[in-house]
């Protein structure tokens, strides 16, 4: 029986082996994945991202426990960074997920980023398809601890959770571009720590700047009323971008978060946005694959030494990078 056939029967050994093939770009992987592809597209893909130390792994553990309690099966892909120096990695996300051990409805796979800079690993896309085809109802994808710009998860998942923790930055951080723009649901984790309400308020204020509503406020002791700004030309989003507070280590707030994740999926389905997102993620995936393959083919047909010769000219400034590209493409 082929690996793909075994994956379709949810055989755990085959799932694990095929993901290894994907990571190592084993020649057999593509054919197996092609067999699986028609069986994908059913799982709800949920991304969990945020700065290092905000509690992503602990939260994923609690989410998986809670989602299992609803009867759904869960696969987890946890990405940790590869060392840029040795190429090795320490993948420590399982430490926080020990409570999930022994449950056949859960499958956890740790992946090293292996040089990808967008917060995921190159193999994540295909690994998702393996879990999807194996019949898992939900795939939770935990990114590496990210800064502000690693937003690959936005074109990978249906529902993106951005996890914040108190004390990480002021309210200008909250209106910067990047990671905060990709959230469907904001989570302020470690809500038992001082400053959690302030962090939630800063996120709320950031969202309200984009869609000002009317209200009353105290200004130097005087109660002022502010009218809502007229509606902007773009129709207001009908998703409310909830900001939820959790304490993952105690399980507080996790039930509400799970209800909200399900509500978001329902919203995507009802509004037709799920189809849009699926189309966008397949388009992004195709573009990625084309880039990789075109580069591979170009380098394969470039004669040995040509590349290093061109780089030598760049160093001496006798050739510009712009002309170098043309030269290589027309070689």
Partner 1 sequence: MPERKIRVLVAKPGLDGHDRGAKVVARALRDAGMEVIYTGLRQTPDMIVESALQEDVDVVGLSILSGAHMALLPIIAQKLKEADMAHVLIVAGGIIPDEDIAALKEAGIDAVFNPGTPTQEIVNFITTHVATE
Q: Can you give the binding site for partner 1, defined by CB under 8 A?
A: 12-13, 15-17, 19-20, 23-25, 82-83, 86-92, 94-95, 98, 101-102, 107-110, 112, 114, 296
Measured from the CB atom, is 295 or 314 closer to partner 1?
Answer: 295
Query: What is the smallest separation between the CB atom of 325 and partner 1, expressed in angstroms?
Result: 22
Close Cβ partners of 83 (under 8 Å, ≥ 6 residues apart): 89
Query: What is the smallest separation between the CB atom of 185 and partner 1, expressed in angstroms?
Result: 27
Measured from the CB atom, is 43 or 200 closer to partner 1?
Answer: 43
Query: What is the smallest separation between the CB atom of 321 and partner 1, expressed in angstroms?
Result: 24
Query: What is the smallest separation between the CB atom of 130 and partner 1, expressed in angstroms?
Result: 12
Query: What is the smallest separation between the CB atom of 109 and partner 1, expressed in angstroms?
Result: 6
Close Cβ partners of 156 (under 8 Å, ≥ 6 residues apart): 45, 47, 120, 124, 125, 128, 141, 281
Phi first, then psi, for residue 24 (nearest 5°) are -90, 5
CA-to-CA distance for 267 and 271, rounded, in angstroms?
Answer: 6
Measured from the CB atom, is 80 or 137 closer to partner 1?
Answer: 80
Measured from the CB atom, is 270 or 292 closer to partner 1?
Answer: 292
Contact 200, 188 (CB under 8 A): yes
Closest Cα partner for 240 from 270, 204, 274? 204
Q: What pairing do the DSSP bridges indicate for beta strands 185-188 and 243-245?
A: parallel
Measured from the CB atom, is 59 or 106 closer to partner 1?
Answer: 106
């Amino acid at each position: 029986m082929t690996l793909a056939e075994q994956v379709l029967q949810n055989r755990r050994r085959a799932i694990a082996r095929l993901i290894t093939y994907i990571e190592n770009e084993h020649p057999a992987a593509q054919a197996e994945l092609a067999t699986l592809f028609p069986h994908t597209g059913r799982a709800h893909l949920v991304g969990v991202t945020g700065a290092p130390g905000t509690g992503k792994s602990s939260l994923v553990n609690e989410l998986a426990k809670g989602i299992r309690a609803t009867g759904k099966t869960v696969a987890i892909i946890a990405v940790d960074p590869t060392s840029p120096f040795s190429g090795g990695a320490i993948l420590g996300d399982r430490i926080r997920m020990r409570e999930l051990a022994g449950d056949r409805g859960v499958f956890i796979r740790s992946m090293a980023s292996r040089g990808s800079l967008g917060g995921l690993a190159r193999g994540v896309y295909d690994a998702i398809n393996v879990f999807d085809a194996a019949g898992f109802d939900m795939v939770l994808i935990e990114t590496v601890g990210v800064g502000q710009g690693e937003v690959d998860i936005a074109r990978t998942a249906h529902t993106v959770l951005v996890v914040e923790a108190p004390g990480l930055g002021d309210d200008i951080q909250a209106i910067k571009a990047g990671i905060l723009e990709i959230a469907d649901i904001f989570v302020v984790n470690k809500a038992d720590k001082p400053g959690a309400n302030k962090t939630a308020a800063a996120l709320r204020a950031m969202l309200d700047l984009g869609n000002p509503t009317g209200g009353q406020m105290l200004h130097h002791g005087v109660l002022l009323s502010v009218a809502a700004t007229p509606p902007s030309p773009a129709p207001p989003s009908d998703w409310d971008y909830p900001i939820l507070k959790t304490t993952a280590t105690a399980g507080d707030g996790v039930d509400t978060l799970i209800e909200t994740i399900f509500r978001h999926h329902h919203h995507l389905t009802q509004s037709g946005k799920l189809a849009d997102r699926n189309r966008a993620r397949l388009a992004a995936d195709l573009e990625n694959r084309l880039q990789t393959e075109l580069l591979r083919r170009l380098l394969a047909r470039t004669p040995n030494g040509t590349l290093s010769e061109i780089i030598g000219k760049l160093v001496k400034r006798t050739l510009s990078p712009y002309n170098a590209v043309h030269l290589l493409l027309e070689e």
